[in-house]
Amino acid sequence: MPNYPVQCAYDKMVGVRDLMPHPKNPNRHPKSQIELLAKVIKRHGWRAPITISKLSGFMVRGHARHLAAELLKCTKVPADFQEYASEEEELEDLMADNQVQELSFLDNEQTAENLRFLKGFEGFDPEFSGFSTDDFESFISPEPKQEQKIIYTNEEIAKQALRWFRKNGFPYKKVAIHVAMQKINRLANLPDSACLYSTLGYSEADTFHPHRFEATTEKHFSPLEAFNDDRKLKNAIAFMLKHNSLVPDAYFSMLGRSLNSAEAYNFRPAVAMMLYRKYASPGETVLDTSMGYGGRLIGYIASGLNGLYIGIDPCSKTYAGNMKLAKHLCFEKHIELYKQPAEDISTKSLKGRCNFAFTSPPYFAKEHYSDEKTQSDIRYKTAEEWREKFLAKMLALQYEALTPGCLSVVNIKDIKIGSKMFPLVQWTINGAKKIGFKLKKIEQLMLPTPNLTGLAKDQKKEGRTEPLLFFEK
Ligand SMILES: C[S@@+](CC[C@H](N)C(=O)[O-])C[C@H]1O[C@@H](n2cnc3c(N)ncnc32)[C@H](O)[C@@H]1O
- Report the residue among 369, 394, 428 best suited for mutation to probe ligand 1: largest number of ligand atoms under 8 A from its CB: 369
- Supply the pLDDT for residue 195: 85
CATH of 12-102, one of 3.30.565.10, 3.40.50.300, 1.10.3720.10, 3.90.1530.10: 3.90.1530.10
Q: Report domain 147-473's class.
A: alpha beta
Cα end-to-end distance, the chain, whole Å: 36
Other Cβ atoms closer than 10 A to 136: 20
What is the position in ligand 1's atom list of the atom closest to the CA of 289?
Answer: 21
Distance CA 292, CA 301 (A): 15
What is the position in ligand 1's atom list of the atom closest to the CA of 390?
Answer: 19
Contact residues of ligand 1, CB 6 A cut-off: 264-265, 289-290, 292-293, 312-315, 318, 341-343, 360-363, 366-367, 369, 375-376, 390
Q: Report residue 131's pLDDT band, with 50, 70 and 90 as the boundaries.
A: confident
- Which residues, listed in sequence order, are joined to residue 138 by a DSSP beta bridge? none
- Supply the pLDDT for residue 3: 77
Distance CA 114, CA 33 (A): 21
- Going by their DSSP bridges, the two strands 308-312 and 285-288 should be labelled as parallel
Q: DSSP of 276-303, one letter per residue? A: HHHH--TT-EEEESS-TTSHHHHHHHHH
Distance from the CA of 290 to the center of ligand 1, in angstroms? 5
Distance CA 173, CA 282 (A): 31
If one compares 279 and 457, the residue with the highest pLDDT of the two is 279
Distance from the CA of 393 to the center of ligand 1, in angstroms? 14
- Report the residue among 290, 367, 386, 453 best suited for mutation to probe ligand 1: largest number of ligand atoms under 8 A from its CB: 290
Distance from the CA of 68 to the center of ligand 1, in angstroms? 44
- Supply the pLDDT for residue 198: 81
Q: What are phi and psi for residue 76, nearest 5 degrees?
A: -135, 150
Q: Range with the lowest mean pLDDT among 101-110, 143-152, 171-180, 286-295? A: 101-110
If one compares 262 and 214, the residue with the highest pLDDT of the two is 214
In a 13 Å sphere around the CA of 240, the CA atoms on its Cβ side amount to 23
Phi-psi region of 45 (alpha: psi -120 to 50; beta: other; left: phi over 0): left
| pLDDT tens-place string over residues 187-238 | 999 888 788 778 889 889 999 999 998 888 777 788 888 888 888 888 888 8
What is the position in ligand 1's atom list of the atom closest to the CA of 265?
Answer: 9
Distance from the CA of 449 to the center of ligand 1, in angstroms? 22
Distance CA 203, CA 378 (A): 28
Average of per-residue pLDDT across 136-152: 71
DSSP-derived 3-state class of residue 393:
helix
- Buried b / exposed e over 284-295, threshold 16 CB at 10 Å, is bbbbbbbbbbbb
Distance from the CA of 52 to the center of ligand 1, in angstroms? 48
Res 264 pLDDT > 90 = no
CB–CB of 88/117 below 8 Å?
Answer: no
Peptide bond just before 314 cis, omega within 30 deg: no
- Supply the pLDDT for residue 463: 46
- Supply the pLDDT for residue 247: 64
Res 255 pLDDT > 70 = no
Distance from the CA of 201 to the center of ligand 1, in angstroms? 19
Q: Range with the lowest mean pLDDT among 172-181, 241-250, 295-304? A: 241-250
Residue nearest to atom 9 of ligand 1 (CA): 265
Share the mean pLDDT of the chain.
86
Distance from the CA of 399 to the center of ligand 1, in angstroms? 19
| pLDDT tens-place string over residues 416-466 | 888 899 999 999 999 999 999 999 999 988 765 443 333 334 434 444 688
Instruction: Parse the chain into domains and list their residue ranges.
Output: 12-102, 114-140, 147-473
Res 108 pLDDT > 90 = no
If one compares 287 and 9, the residue with the highest pLDDT of the two is 287
Residue nearest to atom 27 of ligand 1 (CA): 292
Res 314 pLDDT > 90 = yes
Distance from the CA of 361 to the center of ligand 1, in angstroms? 5
Res 281 pLDDT > 90 = yes
Res 46 pLDDT > 60 = yes
Distance from the CA of 381 to the center of ligand 1, in angstroms? 16
What is the position in ligand 1's atom list of the atom closest to the CA of 413?
Answer: 6
Average of per-residue pLDDT across 54-78: 90
Q: What pTM was estimated for this model as a whole? A: 0.69
- Supply the pLDDT for residue 253: 55
Res 120 pLDDT > 70 = no
295-303 helix and 316-328 helix, angle to the nearest 10 degrees:
20
Average of per-residue pLDDT across 84-91: 86
DSSP state of 389: I
Same fold, 12-102 and 147-473: no
DSSP-derived 3-state class of residue 5:
coil
| pLDDT tens-place string over residues 376-432 | 999 999 999 999 999 999 999 999 999 999 999 999 999 988 889 999 999 999 999
Res 143 pLDDT > 80 = no
